[in-house]
Amino acid sequence: MSDSPILFVRTIAKRFGGTVVLEDMNLTVERGSIHALVGESGAGKSTLTKVLAGIVRPDSGVIEFDGKTVTIDSPNAARKLGIGMVLQQPVLFAERSVLANLFVNREPVHNGLISRREMEARSRDLLRQLGLDVDVHTPLRDLGPGERQLVAIARALLENPRLLILDDPNSALDGRQSERLFAALRGLKAKGMSMLYASNRLDEALGIADQMTVMRNGRDVLSKARQDLTTSEEAMIGQLRQSLFPLPLRALPTLAGTLRPQIAVEGLSGGILSGVSFTARAGEILGLAGSGAPDLLALLFGLRKPRQGKVRFSDGDGLPGTQTEAARRNICMISGDRGNGLMADKSIAFNMANVVVGARNWGSLWYSPKAALRRATRQIEALRIRSTPEMPAGALSAGGQQKVVIAKWLEIGPQVMLLDEPARGIDIGSKQEIYALIRQMAASGCIVLLHSRELSELTGLCDRILAFHQGRLAGEIAGDDMDVGKVLKLIISGKPADERHQSSRESAA
Amino acid sequence: MTKTDTAPPLAGSANHQPRRRIRLPAETGAVVALAVLVAVLGWLSPSFLEPANLLSVLSQAALPGLLAIGMVFVLATREIDVSAGAVFHLAATFTALLMVAGMDPWLAALAGVTAGAGLGLINGLLVIALRLPALLVTLGTWWMIQGLSLVAGKGQTFAPTGAGSGFFTTLSGKAFTVVPAAGIVFVVLTMAMHVVLHRTRFGYRVQAVGSNPLAATYAGIPTGKVKVLTLVLMGAVAGLAGVIHLGSQGAIAPGDGGTFALLAIAAAIIGGTSLSGGSGSVIGAAIGMLVLQAIQSAMTLHGVDAIWTAFTTGALVVLALAIDRLIRLWRDWRAGHGDPLG
């Protein structure tokens, strides 16, 4: 066979509404190699992989697969070409068995009946290779997220694709599982399979890739073989993310002894959270990492009921009983989950009235569209949202939508901000603006709790980070100790990287 | 290249769009449908356009129309209440029973409306306590309430005595000798509730909860309370309709109001209220009900057998849904926005 690349992507562009997601994107994947595609979330990685899998149609550009120009207009077309795909959030059938999920729409048939025996035989070796040791007849919902991810990968591999595309497959896996996955991927490479591996973790990509392409704002900014990468280039890639975060503003002096409003949490349990104690002070951004952090935010916002423990907010009261009470006490919750914050079919003005009109029970009993428009116009200007108040909020870009969600809370002057991945899946520009806004809120005396799965976001933005392991507080990292590796170590193993942190953990507990 | 200016070159286009787009109010479809219908029916048989006939259409539309007003609120919260027809019946029977027991008719009427609201409250509390969609809860309570009113009315037409009292003469009477009392209540309440839905905090919350219940929860909107209140409102207007029915007819028969709940839903849909919640138009629903009744009236005028009514009502609902869907598809296609970033 020829040595020509298996995949050649030239000047692909794609926009959704007013948002440009891909712009002049180029990519070349060599045969029998692992090509890493790295970039911040929102850079366009997922969209590019979806274009290649036939889920999203590009507006323009050329795709050559195996030397021929192809149009991939459906997932079936991609499958026929031999492109296998593992999505970031795999679409699986939770109620059905592992086996049924592996052979969706391709069940081997004997005499008109689905042959379970053949399915078992065909999947056994593959599952062992991936290190997935589960009963193939258990329904998928009983599996952990990591195991489910492996099922999705196995499903793609069963088709014997010539090019396997993995979109951040590692995010749900724990350390051992991801090592297994990497070993399996290397094995597949040895057999001649080509792979495109999209990830937002640079170290991970450097660990497995032969070539890598760095993506930013829908373009390829750097494309090189792994061994040609100079240290300065590695550093540059690392720096791309550093510039995202604004420098801390120090409006409030961190004087010991001054009384600052704070949240004191003592032995709080609820959800998977158990026995968590800490304090969060006004003027700082407290990062939360690991499993249990979303539950903590839900508890503090009154979405969940605590099993035990005491909490004292800055206004002197305990946990809010309902989310309405929380909103009325100026405790705000901003979630990056799509759909948690936005009424997409309603106008921006309507959305901005969510808290002021919707949650509060004081003030006028009337809803004035004029006042809503004024409010929206003011916030649109302040947050630089590129639209007009009458437009439906759903027509905004993801970043704009998230700004609307934040703006509606700014209207009430929040005392406590609970942020659950507030910048997930949005473009870098909006990210920067939102980070700057969070900084500003903290500096103006707000208590900010920030949870994120993207640890670099925490280390870049927070003053302190609390790491949770299986619902327990595993440790606290502050100051110069903050780096992704240390936080990761804490949330995966529950133990600090070295003895020095042991003391800080005890003082926190 | 590492500059982080993110203004996409095409972002400016978003600013031009709103000026070009003319937003038609949600009622447009229903108004056009009614106007065309009246014109066509008047052209087919001029007797349709006689004031007496038009007013009789209004009075026929009034009672199910009251239910449609409440239904718009329920639909706007993304719920549905199928028990409203039964509430209508039980409230009327209850009022009649109180009158027989010797209560002042006006007080009994008030008690009837309160009973309707109470039944709505039960529906609402069940929805909250069981965490079930109102459709399922009201499917159950519909049968229960219907059963109760049959038991209370002993399965027979129930006519309270004292038909000479002011209550009955007022409700069966006509203002300016032509406009039926029920029609006046219907029109006034339609206007008032339209303002409530679009200009009050309660109406705002109703729309917010229906538009995205999760986002409403995250914004601190008391979603449970809002749902309960809409169902109470639904019960209250159904009760009011029942009381007015009793007052204008002087009696309540076992089959009365049996189709009202579905008729109200149909009218709301024709009037531009979406079943997926978030928005609704009270005026639209009222017009939708007028459309339904005008067709029925025209069919009687033209000697079409009344047994065709059910079929035409259903066909209209399907037509309204299809048109709504097509308009929406067309809008999406024009806006050209897909699912950003998936």
What secondary structure does DSSP assign to A398-423, as a single string?
A: HHHHHHHHHHHHHTT--SEEEEESTT
Interhelix angle for B201-211 vs B51-76, to 10°?
70
C-alpha separations of B90 from A217, B1, B80, B150, B231 in Å: 63, 73, 19, 8, 16
d(CA A464, CA B232): 49
pLDDT (tens digit, 9 = 90+) per residue, A156-192? 888 888 899 988 877 667 777 788 788 888 888 888 8
pLDDT (tens digit, 9 = 90+) per residue, A236-266? 665 555 556 666 554 444 544 456 778 999 9
In a domain, A255, yes or no: no
Provide the strand spans (E) within A217-330. Answer: 219-225, 262-270, 273-281, 285-290, 308-312
Q: What tokens were used for A484?
A: 């992704």
Asked whether residue A64 falls in the same domain as residue A120, the answer is yes
Query: Are A474 and A449 within 8 A, CB to CB?
Result: no
Length of chain B: 342
Asked whether residue A237 falls in the same domain as residue A268, the answer is no
Kindly determine whether residue B341 and residue A340, on different chains, have CB atoms separated by under 8 Å.
no
Among A242, A271, A296, which residue terminates a domain? A242
d(CA A177, CA A206): 18
Exposure b/e, A89-109, CB count within 10 A at least 16 = b: ebebeeeebbbbbbbeeeeee
Mean pLDDT along residues A58-83: 88
In a domain, A254, yes or no: no
Among A214, A242, A270, which residue terminates a domain? A242
Residue B228: pLDDT band with limits 50, 70, 90: very high
Asked whether residue A107 falls in the same domain as residue A206, the answer is yes
Neighbours of B179 (CB within 10 A): 16
Q: Find the CB nearest B11 among A18, A23, A340.
A: A18
Which residue, among B71, B105, B103, B108, has the nearest Cα to B91 in the 3D structure? B108
C-alpha separations of A359 from B14, B99, B206, B207, B288 in Å: 30, 43, 12, 13, 33
Query: Which residues, in sequence order, are bridge partners of residue A475?
Result: A467
Which CATH number do you get for residue A81? 3.40.50.300
The reported pLDDT for the residue numbered B203 is 95
Q: What tokens were used for A477?
A: 């990292």
pLDDT surpasses 70 at A506: no
Interface probe, candidates B19, B196, B218, B327, chain A, greatest A C-beta count within 10 A: B218
Q: Find the CB nearest A427 among B6, B13, B202.
A: B6
Query: Are A199 and A119 within 8 A, CB to CB?
Result: no
d(CA A94, CA A90): 11
d(CA B28, CA B26): 6
- Which residue segment(s) compose the domain that A35 sits in? 7-242
In a domain, A140, yes or no: yes
The reported pLDDT for the residue numbered B165 is 72
Q: Quick check: B219 contacting A, CB < 8 Å?
A: yes
Kindly determine whether residue A42 and residue B208, on different chains, have CB atoms separated by under 8 Å.
no
| Nearest residue of chain A to residue B4 (CA atoms) | A429
The reported pLDDT for the residue numbered B146 is 92
- Strand, helix or coil at B94? helix
Contacts of A350 in chain B (CB under 8 A): 204, 207-208
pLDDT (tens digit, 9 = 90+) per residue, A485-502? 888 888 887 776 554 444
**What residue has token string 């109010």?**
B25
Task: Please compute Rg for chain A using Cα positions.
Answer: 24
- Strand, helix or coil at A273? strand
| Alpha-carbon gap: B27 to the closest alpha carbon of chain A (Å) | 17
Give the least confident one: A20-34, A233-247, A378-392: A233-247
Q: Which of residues 320-379 of A touch B (CB under 8 A)?
A: 322-324, 326-328, 333, 335, 339-346, 350, 353-355, 357-359, 364-369
Most confident of A261-270, A433-442, B86-95: B86-95
Residue B276: pLDDT band with limits 50, 70, 90: confident
Among A212, A242, A272, which residue terminates a domain? A242
Residue B163: pLDDT band with limits 50, 70, 90: low
Backbone angles phi, psi at A375, to 5 degrees: -60, -45
Query: Are B34 and B290 within 8 A, CB to CB?
Result: yes
Q: What tokens were used for B79?
A: 């719920």
Q: What tokens were used for B30?
A: 């229903």
Residue A505: pLDDT band with limits 50, 70, 90: very low
The reported pLDDT for the residue numbered A232 is 65
Residue B11: pLDDT band with limits 50, 70, 90: very low
In a domain, A256, yes or no: no
Residues sharing a CB contact under 8 Å with residue A262, sequence separation 6 or more, in sequence order: A279, A280, A281, A282, A314, A447
> What is the phi-psi region of residue B56: left when phi exceeds 0, alpha when psi lies from -120 to 50, beta otherwise?
alpha
Which residue, among A386, A429, A428, has the nearest Cα to A404 in the 3D structure? A386
Residue A504: pLDDT band with limits 50, 70, 90: very low
Q: What tokens were used for A490?
A: 């804490």
Query: % helix / strand / coil in chain B, to the nearest 5?
Result: 75, 0, 25
Asked whether residue A295 falls in the same domain as residue A165, the answer is no
Query: Are B302 and B328 within 8 A, CB to CB?
Result: no
d(CA B256, CA B238): 13
Residue B30: pLDDT band with limits 50, 70, 90: confident
Q: What tokens were used for A145?
A: 């997220």
Q: Find the CB nearest B204 among A333, A344, A358.
A: A358
Q: What tokens were used for A449?
A: 């709790």
Give the least confident one: A298-302, B190-194, B266-270, B324-328: B324-328
Helical ranges in B4-133 per DSSP H: 13-20, 28-44, 51-76, 84-100, 105-130
Asked whether residue A109 falls in the same domain as residue A48, the answer is yes
SS3 track for A307-322: CEEEEECCCCCCCCCC
Amino acid letter for position A386? R
CB-neighbour burial class of residue B175 (10 A; exposed 0-12, middle 13-18, buried 19+): exposed
Question: What does DSSP assign to residue A462?
Answer: -
Residues sharing a CB contact under 8 Å with residue A121, sequence separation 6 or more, in sequence order: none
The reported pLDDT for the residue numbered A364 is 85
Amino acid letter for position B320? A
Q: Find the CB nearest B220 among A243, A344, A355.
A: A355
Q: Characterize the bridge pairing of strands A68-70 and A60-65.
A: antiparallel
Q: Find the CB nearest A17 among B200, B215, B340.
A: B340
| Alpha-carbon gap: A18 to the closest alpha carbon of chain B (Å) | 5
d(CA A93, CA A76): 19
Mean pLDDT along residues A383-409: 87
Neighbours of A157 (CB within 10 A): 22
Mean pLDDT along residues A394-418: 88
Asked whether residue A337 falls in the same domain as residue A484, the answer is yes
Complex ipTM tops 0.95 = no
In a domain, A42, yes or no: yes
Q: Quick check: A59 contacting B, CB < 8 Å?
A: no
CA atoms within 13 A on the CB side of A206: 13
Mean residue pLDDT across chain B: 85
Asked whether residue A320 falls in the same domain as residue A370, the answer is yes
The reported pLDDT for the residue numbered A231 is 66
In a domain, A235, yes or no: yes
d(CA A287, CA A269): 19
In a domain, A253, yes or no: no
Number of domains in chain A: 2
Backbone angles phi, psi at A126, to 5 degrees: -65, -45
Q: What tokens were used for B265?
A: 């839903």
Residue A406: pLDDT band with limits 50, 70, 90: very high
Amino acid letter for position A390? E
- Strand, helix or coil at A195? strand
Neighbours of A493 (CB within 10 A): 13
Neighbours of B104 (CB within 10 A): 15
Residue B78: pLDDT band with limits 50, 70, 90: very high
Q: Find the CB nearest B214 among A340, A408, A425.
A: A340
Q: Which of residues 245-304 of B touch A (CB under 8 A)?
A: 278-279
In a domain, A191, yes or no: yes
Asked whether residue A314 falls in the same domain as residue A406, the answer is yes
Kindly determine whether residue A397 and residue B340, on different chains, have CB atoms separated by under 8 Å.
yes
pLDDT (tens digit, 9 = 90+) per residue, B106-142? 999 999 999 999 999 999 999 999 999 999 999 999 9
Mean pLDDT along residues B177-197: 91
Kindly determine whether residue B201 and residue A358, on different chains, have CB atoms separated by under 8 Å.
yes
Residue A73: pLDDT band with limits 50, 70, 90: confident
Which residue, among B58, B54, B48, has the nearest Cα to B287 in the 3D structure? B58
* A–B interface: beta-carbon pairs under 8 A: 168
First CA to last CA distance, chain B: 26
- Strand, helix or coil at A473? strand
Residue A319: pLDDT band with limits 50, 70, 90: very high
Mean pLDDT along residues B190-209: 95
The reported pLDDT for the residue numbered A379 is 92
- Strand, helix or coil at A365? coil
d(CA A66, CA A81): 9
Query: Are B92 and B112 within 8 A, CB to CB?
Result: yes
Which residue, among A334, A323, A325, A347, has the nearest Cα to A437 in the 3D structure? A334
Residue B331: pLDDT band with limits 50, 70, 90: low
**What residue has token string 């005028």?**
B301
pLDDT surpasses 60 at B150: yes
Mean residue pLDDT across chain A: 83
| Nearest residue of chain A to residue B339 (CA atoms) | A16
Residue B6: pLDDT band with limits 50, 70, 90: very low
- Strand, helix or coil at A34? strand
CB-neighbour burial class of residue B302 (10 A; exposed 0-12, middle 13-18, buried 19+): exposed
The reported pLDDT for the residue numbered B326 is 82
Q: Can you say whether the dihedral through the CA atoms of A154, A156, A162, A168 is positive or negative? A: negative
The reported pLDDT for the residue numbered A419 is 94
